[in-house]
Structures are given as structure tokens and as C-alpha cells.
Structure 1
Amino acid sequence: MFQFLKKKFSNLRLNVKISLYYSIVLLIFCTVFFMFFTTTVKYNQEYNEIIKSATIASSFSIDFKKDFDYKMYRIIIGSKEFYDEDPYKDIEEAQAIAEKLQASSWSKGNVERAQAIQKYLLNLKKHVRKIEDNLKETGHYDENITILYNDIHVVTSLIQDTILEYIYYETMEMENVRAAMEVEMLKNMELMVIMVIAMILVGLFIAIFISNSISRPVKELSFITNQVAQGDLTVRSHIKNGAELKILSDSLNIMIEKLSDLIETVKKEQSNLRETEIKLLQEQINPHFLYNTLDTIIWLAESGKQDDVVEVVGSLSKYFRTSLSKGKDLVTLKDEETHVCSYLQIQKIRYGDILEYEIDLPKELSLCRIPKITLQPLVENALYHGIKNKRTKGKIKLIGRMENDKVIIKVTDNGLGMTPDRLKQVLESMQRKSENEKESYGLYNVNERIRMIFGPDYGLSLQSTYEVGTEVTVCLPKVIKEDN
């Protein structure tokens, strides 16, 4: 089962793996929070109920017995009229409080005490009614005094004592709830600590697993590209797991096969156009560039920068797809722009502290035809011979427009530029092949291919000023891609 899940996980895309990792961490966190929250709410509700019950009990006057006994005494001796004092009102108010106590009581014992208070109040009402009846006639003073001392005083004492007992037991219940809540909270804290530790361990395990699932295949790809760089075109990648890395592996195998086929083609076909094109393709699909890029991916993966890994791997995969272009010699300007963007995105990760770029190719030019891998060598020259040599932050611009039915594309940089003598040497090298001029070899290849495909009226032009920058202009005819 574990192997099955491991295989399924390995085949997921990088962004899905990272999203799954954060989802698991979030789920564990939410579970801990939910348990802590529900426990707190539960005991808080119980505590509030007890507080409410105790508050109602406290509304029962603590001087009820003294006040009621004194009121009845004054009525009996005649200092106050019965109906002016209205003892029934005091009893009814006490009955209303007793009903609330019975409804809100937390414990069974206090429910019974609230019921007992109601019974005592009913008895008290009967004794008061007896005194009321006696007061309507004369000669019952002694009897009323006896009822006051033997009945009313006893009943009010029972009521007062029962109320005090009610408050005492509600307070005890409050303490029990507090103690239970404290114990439960300690248990939850222990559980939370355990779950947090588990979350950290699971997070570390998943992070290591994700890192290994990226770095191991990348190391294999790095080894293969190193072999290719040494001239061994028989090696092949056998990566089967990981969506992006499998695509990259397949693309690398296709690249090696294409590269091998192209080398064989170069041996068979000696035309200048094909020779120049094959050498340029070999130059641009550079295993050393791929090797350096894969080293960058390994470093990013080991540093935990998964988002940058996803971006570099995606750009590299797109770079190879557009480089191959299904074997076509001419591609759309849109495809060429995609190829350059992929290259610059990769280089932006590597040289982000010194590199900025801007691409402005109008949509109306997107279907125009251009020899594949025309712009990337120009951008590469701008980076390696312009921006890097200046050793300060620079910017590469790629801007296109239409002029008199011609497509004009300018690649400019604000790098080191060239002295007049150096500019003259490069312009001369663009016109004739020179193996010693590596800096201008790419310019020669691009210029020669354009001239051979479209004629001598088209090609490259170059302007450069030392410590200001360089501008390469590509001139092409307006050839629109035909619908398939």
C-alpha cells in the first residue's frame, strides 16, 4: 500500500505536491484548533449557565426572612394595615424567583431545593391568609402572634436556609466545572503539543520526500547531459516519475536523438544552409547550458525554493519543445518569442541581480515566419558579452515593428558595448565565417541563414557604443504562416 501511494505521489506535478504538503499541514492545524475551540466553547457554556443560576439565586433578598417577619409583626400589632403592606406581593415575587431557579438549576439537588422553596412559599401564603382572616375579627391577637412565631418564623427560616444551600451548591458545581475544564484543557494542551510535533515530523518527511523526488531525477538528468557534453550520444534518460521531470526526460531523449540525427545529416548534406543550421542548432541546444540549468534546479530544490524549481523546470521544458519545433525550419514569431522568453526566464533565475528584460512584439506580427532559433543567440550575446562584462545591472530589450512590408526586430542592451575597432572586427566576422571569433559566430550563423532563406536584402545589422550598449537589428520579409 505504501509503495502504491509513493508511486502515485511521485507521478504528481510539482505544484500539486507542494499544494498537497501545505494542505496536510493546514488540515492538522485546523484539527488541533477545532478540538481546542469546541472544548473551550463547551465548558464556557456550562460555566455561563451556572453563573446565570447563581445570579438568579442572588436576586433573592438575603434579608427576606427579617423583612417579611418584621412586616407581619407590624401588621399583627396594628401599626400597619394588612393591605398597605401587601405581604402577598412579597410571596409572589419570591415564587417568581423560585420558578426561575428551578428552570435554570444546573444540578438535580438544586432543582429539588427550588421545588422545596416553592412549597415553603405556599405554606407561608396559607399562614398569611390565616392571619388576614383573623384580622377581620377582633380577639385573635394571641393566635396571630402564635402563628407568627411558630409557623411564619419557621417557614421563612427554611426558605432562607434553602436559598443559602442553593447558592452554596451552585458555587460548588461552578468549582467542579472549573476543575474539569482545567483538566480537559491540560489534556488538550498535551494533545496539541503531540499533534504539533507530529505535524513538524510529517512536514519534514514530506519536505524531504518532495526534495528527493525532484533532486534525484535532476541529478540523473545532469549526469546524462554531462555525458552528452562529452560526446556520448548513446545515453538515454529513464525517468518515469514526476510529471514535469518525465516531460523533461522525454524532451532530453528526443533532443539527443535529434542531435544525433542532425549530426548524421551534417555528414551527408554539405549544403551551406543545412550546415549552418545544424551547427547553430547544436550550439543553441547546448548540453553545457542544460547542465548548468539542472545544477541550478538542484540547488533550488535543496534550498527549499520549490516555486523557483517549478518555474525553471517549466521554462526549460518549454525551451526544448520550442527548440525542436517538430523539425520545421521556419516558425512563427510567436513561437520564437516563446523560445526566447523561456531562455530569459531561466537566465533571470541565475542572473536576477544583474539582468532585466523587456519584450514588445506586436500581436499583428505573431504569425510572421522567422527561421527558428534566430533571436535567442542574439539575446545570449547581449547577456554574455554585454551585460555580464559590464558587471552592473543591465537590461535587454526585444522590440518589433513593421516598416515598408518588412519585419524589423531590434535586440538592444545597455551593457559594455564595443569600441570602434572591436565593432569593425565583429562586422567583418558577420560577413565571413571565422572559427576564431566565437563572440560573433552566432551572429554569422543567424545572418547567413536569413540571407540564404530570404535573400541578400535581409539579415542583421549592428550598432554599438562602448560603455553605452549594443543594438542588433533583424530585417525579415513579411511572410505570414499559412493555415493548416
Structure 2
Amino acid sequence: MMRSDSIRKALKFTNIVMILASIVPFIINTLYYNITLNQYEGIIENVYSANSLSSNLKNDIYTTMWNIVTGKTTFKDNTQYALIGRIRENLDELEKNANSEDNGYLVQVARNTLETMESYVNSIGDNIARERPVRENEELLGEIASVSDLLYDVIQKFVAAEMELAHIQNAKIRQSMDLMTLTQVLLFFAILMFLLRNYRQLNRRINEPIWRLKTMASRIAQGDLSIRVEKPEISELDELTDSLNTMAEKLIKLIDQNVQKQRNLQKAEMKALQAQIAPHFMYNTLGTILSLAEDGQTENVVTTTLALSSFFRLSLNKGRDWVTVAEEKAHVENYLAIQKMRYGAILEYDFDFSPEILKESMLKLLLQPLVENAIYHGIKKTRRRGHIAVKGTAEGDSMIFTVQDNGLGMTPEELEKLQANLLNYDVSSPGSGFGLYNVYKRIELYYETGDGLTVESEYDKGCTITLRLPIVRTQAAQPAPDQTQAAPTEGA
């Protein structure tokens, strides 16, 4: 199958085309519009300045010189030259901003006319200084009026020329606006056609492979893990296709693994049942009872028999998995009472449980395997007197149980190996450490936590096993109505 181009590249090309098609014409039109508008504003400014100059030109110059000739003001006040200076500055500004050569020529004519007017003003000044007859100054005043009219006419021609340019610029502005509008309309339709074309192409190139992937996902959800999808026509879906194919393969493996784990769990449950029944424990206990009977220790025979009966009653618990902490504590007390009969003075123990946790629920048979582990793997391997301390207390939303012994303990290497066995124990070939693994695994399954059991040990100093169990308030223990009282606790 021929592979098409990347969708990412197609979208990138589409975006670039749209951006360029939108921005470039807009920038060009905007620049042209701004340039034309600036020229138009310059023309309007020139017209305004020229009108302001011409409106005051005739009256101001003639009136100023008339007042000098008639003696109302003196020539030495220089008001006439100040006025001429302002007019010259205005002409300089108009010449600077002239928008055509013809307008610049008109400003130059106006400047020459102003110089002629200034020469007449100088003549009036000379006549006044030499005290010439007033008649001569009146004649000069008439010439100034004529020159003022000429200057006014020149300025008006400049205004007319600038107004013509303003009209032309205004037409250009309208044209630029019309062109911009037309360009935007054409661009809109061009982009619309381009997008519709790309949409049809992309839709065709994407929908088909996505539909195949969707079909695969639906069939996987229905349980058909044999389906596979070929590589699609677009590269962006390669990884998704590979992931779905890989997921289907891994699901098959995970299902197989889960089936195997279920089998292992069933084996573990069978092994746990065998450990709970503990035939060898019963055999040893009955042997102890027989020895006590032969020695005539009737009271101890009764006590041991009651403890054994209560031990198995609590072990079976009518098939229930949950008991109260008080029941679990009684179960361990019965077990230790029996062991006390066997080992005598070399075994001592004590209990320390907080009263507030005794009515809480917990998974059954969690503490007894730990105590059994402390006796057989700790205390029995030493020659000194053994001591086991079983404690239970509340800590926040959890219950903390510890089983501490002063037995042989473990080296760091042995402790590390034990911890590794807890995580990777082969229940199909159980050996040492099965009791701890059974507790660890049941906590993991029922409490859904992986850190419910921790082991601390130091060689020749003993071992401490800690259980951290969440308080399960929704799992009532439902204690049996005929609970047997536990054997008395014996301490050091």
C-alpha cells in the first residue's frame, strides 16, 4: 500500500498558506492606506496653514502700516517686522510641506512678493526717519496694499492646488479601501475553497484508518484478542496502531498470567488450610496431654485440652474470614498456652493490647503464624530462656500489631533473603517461610496493601514482626455466640 504524506506536514502547509494569504495582503493594503492617509493629512495641514495665513494677511499688514503712517504707532516698535517674520516662517513651512513642484513654485512667488512688501516697509521707515512728506508714505501704503492683495492671491492659488491634491488623495484612499475590501472578500472565498479541499482530503485519509482502529478496539473490548491492524496510510497513526497491536498481545499474556496466578492462589489457600489445621501441632499437643495424664497432672490436662479445643474452634471460625481482635488475641493465647505446656520454663510470653481495638475486625489467623515462627525459628534455636511479646495498638486509621522474640534472629543476608521470598514465593513448592508468606499475601489480597508486614531482626538478639492493618469498619466480625474463654495469659 502506498504511504501518503504526513498529516502533520499537510496541516503545517495549510497553516502557512492561510497565514500568508491573510497577513501579506493585509500588510500591503495597510501600508498603502497609511501612506496615502499620511499624505492626505499633510495636504489638509497645508491647506489649514495657508488659510490661516491668508485670512490675516491683508488686514494685518495694511492696518499695521496704516497705524505707523498716521502716527498711532511708531516705526521703532518693529511690529511690522515681527508680522513679516511670522509670514516668512509660515511660507517656509508651506514650502517645506509642498506636495508638488507647482505648489513649491507658488510659495517661492509668495516669498518674493513678501520681500517686495518688506522693501516698501523699509522705504516708509526711511521716509519717516528723514521726515519726508506724509504723501509719499501714503503712496507707498497703496503699494503695500497692492502687494498684499497679490500675496493673498498667490496663497489662495496654493490652497486651491492643495485642495486638488487632497481630492486626488481622497480618491486614492477610497480606492485603497475598496481594494482592501475586495481583497478580503476574494481571500475569504479562496481560503474557504482551500480549506474545503483540504478537509475532504484529510477526512478521506484519516477516517478510514481511524475506523479500522476503532473496529479493532471494539472487538478487543468484546474479547476478540486475535485481531490485528496493518500499518495505516498516514504516519501519525503508526504508533497508535503498533500500541493497539502490542496491547492485544500483552492482554493475551496477562490473561494467561492471571489464570496462572488464580491457580497459584488456590494452591496457596489449600496450603493455608493445611497450615491452619497443622496436624503435627495436634499430634504434639496430644502427646503432651498424654504425658501430663500419665504424670497425674489432671488440672493441666484439662487446661491443655480446653486450650486445644478453643484453638481449633477459633481456627475454623465457622468458615468466616474475619474475626474481632479479641478473638484473634484469644486464639494466640490458646496456642501459647499449649506451647507453654510443652516447653515449660524455657518459654515465657505476655500480651499488651489496647482495649479500644479489641472490638475491631481483622482477618483471622494473622498473629498465630507469626508467634509460631518466633518459637520454631527463633527461640528453639537458642539455649537461653525464650520470651515472646505480642502487642496491639491503634494508630490513626490503622492497627499496629507486633510479635517480638529474643530468639536467634537473622543475619542481614538472611533477612534480605526472607524479604525477597515474601515478594517472590513459590507456593507450588512450599518450604521455610511459608507461614510469613501466607500472612503477607493474605494481607495484600484482603487489605489491598503491599506494606502490611515488615520484619526487623538482628542476629542473636531476636526478631520483631510488625503488622499494619487498616481499620475495616464495614467488615463486621460477627463473633460466634459460644466463644470459649481463652487460657490465662502467662508472663515472665
Q: TM-score, normalised by structure 2?
A: 0.49
Q: TM-score, normalised by structure 1?
A: 0.49
Bigger Rg, which one: 2
